[in-house]
Chains A and B, each alone.
Chain A
Amino acid sequence: MRDKVATLIDLTKCVGCRACQVACKEWNGLEGQTTSNRGTYENPPSLSPETWTKIDFIESSGEEGVDWTFLKQQCLHCTDAACAEVCPTKALRTHPLGFVSLEEDRCNGCGYCAEFCPFGIPQMKITSLLAGTAVASKCTFCQDRLTSGMEPICSKSCPAGAISFGLRNDMVLKGEERVAALKESRDDGAKINLYGANLLGGLGMMYVLPDEPGAFGLPSDPSGSYSLAAAWQGLLQPLGGILIGVGAVTAGINWIIARRMANQAVAARAEAGKGADRD
């Protein structure tokens, strides 16, 4: 097996220029959306089937002055990926290189991935309103580039050197060293941390965060969703393959479970995001 790769996104270096956001659209052939200015630099408002990565502009102010942080949102490529676990068609799979691959033509549009993802990442693209079909979309870690020996387009395009790419072990080490150095050199370095080194078996995209994960709406323990997804996968899904009728019933149950999970995730995010005044 080949060694796993990963990217390390260093929020203490990101200047929010959004070169990655544009390069992602360019490389992956995603269209520009019609937007309006909502009183912020941030646009589009959220991830979508046409936006696989975006920068959140997180503005806060307090006694110590103002702060402005730029959080790159995209699939974090969990090793223990709930989305891949629940995917009934194996359109989503954990690739040996360490990312979650997506084969759109295998996707049946069930939407479980979107419901189970602890980070709320996959977006469903409606392919036919009439037939009620959809297809999942998310960052693929530029699987076409990676499997051709190139780095992802986001790290390639980053002018500030905030996005690093390499072997996962190296990226973890780099992240740990960076955090240690920043804790030493910065007056406000106490809260600086590496996010994702061990979460969910290790994230393929990790962050150097200047503050606690909650300040950026990131769950400090997203493992629950994976456990539930694994349980669902182990118990219920095989039935669906055997008995179509039962399958339909379980799908209904699954949907209910999934909704609950998703709502919990959203609530957790909202809770975690308090105090972080979105710009």
Chain B
Amino acid sequence: MTNHWIDIGNADVIMIIGSNPAENHPISWRWVEKAREKNGAKVISVDPRYTRTSAQSDIFVPLRSGTDIAFIGGMIKHIIENECYNRDYVAEYTNGSFLVDKGYEFDPETGLFSGYNEAERAYDTKNWAYQTDAEGVPTRDTSLTHPDCVFQKLRAHYADYTPEAVSEVTGTPVERLLEVYETYSASGEPGKSGTIMYAMGATQHTYGTQNVRSYAVLQLLLGNIGLAGGGVNALRGLHNVQGSTDMCLLFHILPGYLATPVEADQSLQEYLDRVTPTTNMPGSVNWWQHTPKYMVSLLKAWYGEAATAENEFGFNWLPKNGENYSYIALFEAMYAGDIKGLISFGTNPAVSGPNSNMERAALRKLDWMVAIDLWPTETANVWREPGVDSTAVDTEVFLLPAASFVEREGSVTNSGRWIQWRYKAIEPVGDSKPDTWIANMIWLELRRLYEQEGGPNKEAILNLTWDYGDGEPDAEQVAREISGTALADLYDKEKKLVARAGEQVKNFTELKDDGSTACGNWLYNYYTREGNLAKRRDTDDPSGIGLYSNWSWCWPINRRIIYNRASIRPDTGRPWDPEDAVIVWDPETEKWVGDVPDGGTPPGTILPFIMKPEGVGRLFGMGHVDGPFPVHYEPWESPVENKLHSTQNNPCFKIWNSEMDLKGEKEEFPVIGTTYRVSEMMQTGAMTRFLPWLVELQPELFVEMGQELAEERGIVSGEHVKVRSARGEVKAVAVVTPRFKPFSLNGTSVHEVGILWHYGYQGLATGDSGNLLTPHVGDANTMIPEYKAFLCDVQKA
């Protein structure tokens, strides 16, 4: 989230798209209601079917799965043509005024940008750049009229996304489109704010990144970023998903979103030169210029005294990223026999993975698997799946019982980036152990083996700082290591001592690139010289807008609303919305009051988007493999042709071709399928399907469908049906409902059904997982699987 949960209560209009918060984040509804009470906020629910969220929303917008960009593109066109955008914000705080390189082109006919190489399925992105003057400063036209400026390119980009054209793609009636466009665009008025609540309905597409990009473009046009009640807000599906992302549980980043070294980075300097941005833009803070301090401090946290300037702080001990190590790619490699072993740490891919039949088969090809969980999940017992000949499975499975979240201490980071300390409530049951204990034991044994036997790149193992004793590591010690420590006495610019060696750093501004500080994650400075700030529980809110700045601690630097200098008018230096001001400049004290600002200098001195080298928000977004503006494409499997452009699918995502990577065609599978969760079940059901109270509520897999489809197939609500895709078949109970309507696309009626993925063959409630149906393809940028739109068919069982 750019903002945080409580801040939803400050919005004037709330657009819920690609998420179902009443269902999956019920606590968020408290803040949605708060916004209604406080501001009379309008609540918009955009979803393929009428959900529990829709039931309590003001406007329900039916939208065919996978057509967000058409929908948002149409809204962008509406906003530009009706001049609902915040002109000063766009001119001063976004790259709308920047002139784009003359070589950049977009062909609305094909839906392709210049530089596409079909054989490689990749773009040459060199022209996705700004024009610059002789000093290397981007050329701008703040009148936003120059034909080369981003704003005019954006206008041209969505010129064809008329309400009628959008309606034919999304299936939303034109009048409903106009109603929601007008309602949401009203947040562009200075002093008003609109928020977007999104989740996996947005991301789990072959163009998921661009779906979210379209929300960002929309919010920048309306001047909704940096304001209370604004932002682009990802609702995380678990209590610590944000924390795991921040701490690098993804293959392409190190802790704190530092780039992973690649093979071409032959030295630390080469790496730093590649990843550290520079800028000539006046007023740009370009915060990533500090990358060397963060990277060297990270290496010092990992390699301690072994990391010296002479050996580049151990940079070359780090593994270099040479391949696609994303989730789908790993399972393709397992299936191909290239990966022989797996540690599955609190995850259940046999149920959660796309094309689960294929992923289960891949797991059964492993030589060994360590499954670490509360009890045997479908993954741990993949060799015992009903119908599988266990004697033919050679995978050796080690099940390590793990302590649950109430049985261990540590921090969790919520969607709003708040790092909150959690205490152990009870001792772990039986032989179960905390994750950190398990990791420590594995590590100690690994190190012992390397000490005895050596091995390739053994320094990477033997030089690692690992001083957590021989039991459960002390969570507070880990917190201090993550937060950052002075290794030598630290002085500020005035040569004043700020920290003695061994003390915690105050925050990342004290980190150095000379090896005198160690920091496991530059964003996570919550354990300071004042102690563990994640434990703070002060319920005072002097801000009046729900910042609760002394409750826990939030990254970065306890800033609750990021890019908050954009909440200040460029002309007057006063807040756009004085009633819900995030920060206010006090000329008496010459300080900002309110939230921690993105830089403490007076108004008008620096640009607000400090993480971008050009200092402004990007309507034109470089850095994505599939284009600087979002383009509507169809899902990999779709029953219709792309009506807006001749290119059917995102031209850049990876298509796999093992014998189990099958694609369905609309003739055999005419129905759109999507997957989702319900309140009563959690993820793969690994916990909830073992609890009688929850099993009572949702005892069986169901498929939700409209009355029209049920009638066509002679299906009665409550009876068992079969749902088939090119990849598998599931048995489910039909929930036939008027809440799911067919989509009318230019006269053709298209049905969509929704299916849960909470079920498997373990637990009190068993059944098929909806993921037996989903395809093994993912987003072009992030590789997140396309769970949310595929082709299937439904028949009576």
Contact = CB atoms under 8 A, between A and B. Distances in A.
Interface string A15-30: 1111101100110000
A36 interface: yes
Contact of A44 (B36, B696, B735): B696
Interface string B705-734: 000000000001111000000000000011
A67 B693 contact: no
A50 to B, nearest CB: 9
A35 interface: yes
Contacts of B737: 59, 279
Interface in A1-56: 12-19, 21-22, 25-26, 31-41, 43-44
A159 B29 contact: yes
A185 B679 CA distance: 29
A18 to B, nearest CB: 6
**Of A21, A39, A40, most B-chain CB atoms within 10 Å:** A39
Nearest to B696: A32
A161 B735 CA distance: 28
Contacts of A39: 716-719, 733-736
Contact of B40 (A19, A35, A185): A185
B35 to A, nearest CB: 12
Contacts of A59: 737-739
Contacts of B525: none
Interface residues of B, number: 42
A161 B739 contact: no
Contacts of A22: 693-694, 697
Contacts of B385: none
Contacts of B444: none
Contacts of A38: 718
Interface string A110-154: 000000000000000000000000000000000000000000000
A32 B739 contact: no
Contacts of B55: 15-16, 67-70
B56 A12 contact: yes
Given A39-B733, A70-B52, A160-B22, 12 more contacts: A13-B33, A15-B56, A22-B693, A25-B693, A33-B696, A39-B717, A59-B739, A159-B27, A160-B29, A160-B33, A185-B36, A279-B737
Given A66-B50, A69-B55, A36 B738 contact: no
A68 B739 contact: yes
Nearest to A68: B55
A108 B541 CA distance: 54
A68 B733 contact: no
A68 B734 contact: no
B697 A43 contact: yes
22 contacts: A12-B56, A13-B56, A15-B23, A16-B22, A19-B679, A22-B694, A26-B693, A31-B692, A32-B691, A34-B699, A35-B696, A35-B697, A41-B698, A59-B738, A59-B739, A67-B55, A69-B55, A159-B29, A159-B30, A160-B22, A161-B29, A185-B40
A66 B693 contact: no
Contacts of A65: 50, 60
A274 B55 CA distance: 20
Contacts of A19: 26, 679
Report, nearest first, the 6 A-B pairs whose CB atoms are least far apart.
A32-B692, A39-B718, A39-B717, A15-B22, A61-B738, A160-B29
Nearest to A182: B36
B84 interface: no
A98 to B, nearest CB: 26
Interface in B468-523: none
B53 interface: yes
A18 B679 contact: yes
Given A15-B23, A41-B678, A161-B33, A35 B699 contact: yes
Contacts of B52: 15-17, 68, 70
Contacts of A160: 22, 26-27, 29-30, 33
A59 B738 CA distance: 8
Interface string B3-34: 00000000000000000001100110110010
A30 to B, nearest CB: 9
Contacts of B733: 36-37, 39
A68 B699 contact: no
Interface in B723-767: 733-739
Interface in B165-195: none
Contacts of A35: 695-697, 699
Interface residues of A, number: 39
A39 B717 CA distance: 5
A37 B700 contact: yes
A36 B26 CA distance: 24
Nearest to A65: B60
B715 to A, nearest CB: 10
Nearest to B37: A181
* Interface residues of chain A: helix, strand, loop or mixed (majority): loop
A155 B471 CA distance: 42
Nearest to B740: A66
A59 to B, nearest CB: 7
A87 B469 CA distance: 66
B414 to A, nearest CB: 14
B418 to A, nearest CB: 17
Contact of B693 (A13, A32, A37, A70): A32
**Of B29, B56, B702, most A-chain CB atoms within 10 Å:** B56
A278 to B, nearest CB: 11
B680 interface: yes
Contacts of B734: 39
A124 B679 CA distance: 30
Nearest to B680: A18
B29 A13 contact: yes
Interface in B660-711: 678-680, 691-700, 702
Contacts of B56: 12-15
Interface in B33-58: 33, 36-37, 40, 50, 52-56
Given A16-B52, A18-B680, A59-B738, A37 B23 contact: no
Contact of B698 (A12, A31, A43, A161): A43
Contacts of B735: 37, 39-41
A177 to B, nearest CB: 11
A147 to B, nearest CB: 25
A32 B764 CA distance: 11
A32 B678 contact: no
A15 B26 contact: yes
A34 B699 CA distance: 8
Nearest to A22: B693
B172 to A, nearest CB: 13
Contacts of A68: 50, 52, 54-55, 739
A227 to B, nearest CB: 37
A66 B604 CA distance: 50
Contacts of B40: 185
A22 B693 CA distance: 6
B26 A159 contact: yes
Contacts of B694: 22, 32
A20 B313 CA distance: 55
Interface string B52-77: 11111000100000000000000000
Contact of B23 (A17, A32, A66): A17
A135 to B, nearest CB: 22
Given A15-B52, A160-B33, A21 B697 contact: yes
A279 B52 CA distance: 13
Contact of A18 (B695, B697, B719): B697
Contacts of B22: 15-17, 160
B717 to A, nearest CB: 3
A17 B26 contact: yes
A19 B699 CA distance: 16
Nearest to B716: A39
A24 B795 CA distance: 38
Interface string B151-169: 0000000000000000000
Contacts of B26: 15, 17, 19, 159-160
Given A17-B23, A26-B693, A159-B29, A43 B699 contact: yes
